[in-house]
Amino acid sequence: MPEWLLAGGWGLLAGSALVMGALVGYLMPIPARVVATVMAFGSGVLLSAVSFELIAEAHERGGLGPTVLGAVAGAALYAGANVLLAWRGARHRKRSAGQQPTEEQQPGSGTAIALGALLDGVPESIVIGTSLLGGGAVSLVTVVAVFISNVPEGLSSASGMRRAHRSRRYVFGLWGGIAVISGLAAVLGYTVLGGASAGVLAAITALAGGAILTMIADTMIPEAYEDAHVLTGLITVAGFLTAFALSQA
């Protein structure tokens, strides 16, 4: 199988977890405390992946300079885009309670939420594609970490969308589309960056890491803290150690 197609398959697999989570979150009345719990666990998983798979890999490839520059650039780009989308109604796109506005309350918020979901998913998928460069195997830890974290992301967001009276067509069309785009982003990560130098690859990997870390702080931790705040830290550590154990297996 061509490696670009393999990259797309892994990206699509990781993105499909968003659809799985959305199915559960939209079709079943999940208690807010359960949503917060799984979001805290997913946050820990992603934190581990960023630390040991992305930032560490970037440092090994290109050294401290490209790693720091890439991570700061990723954080700044994500934060800037997130602020713009928040103004358009996507600030609470991962919240499961009643924080998401309806289209009547804020026209255009549906489009902003869709763009926000795209913003959250693309950096993870690009990294999956770049992990195949150089003839290496895909980083299964990264794929598993993204998959595990995508389930609570889709679950929490779809729960909020249901409460905001968004239609099934909108919700499942959105997450199905993001899953497909995740596969395409992984293909782009493999093909477009195939001839890049070690320093550029390091910066791109760190950029994705910085964007994901900012996304965790801006959108995932707030939902986790909302209803499981007493145990949020403990659950997050459990997710972190789960992903770390996978990376050492």
In total, how many domains does the chain have?
1
Q: 227: domain range?
A: 3-248
Is residue 46 scored above 80 in pLDDT? Answer: yes
Whether residue 54 contacts residue 209, with contact meaning beta carbons closer than 8 Å, is answered with yes
Highest mean pLDDT range out of 23-32, 70-79, 221-230? 70-79
Counting runs of H as helices and runs of E as strands, what totals does the chain give?
10, 0
pLDDT at 113: 67
Are 35 and 173 within 8 A, CB to CB?
Answer: no
Q: Which of 8-12, 48-52, 146-150 has the lowest mean pLDDT?
A: 146-150
- In tens, the pLDDT along 81-139 reads 888 877 877 666 666 555 666 666 666 655 666 677 777 778 878 888 887 775 556 67
Cβ-Cβ contacts under 8 Å for 124 (sequence gap 6 or more): 14, 142, 146, 182, 208, 212
Percent of the chain exceeding pLDDT 70 equals 84
pTM of the model: 0.81
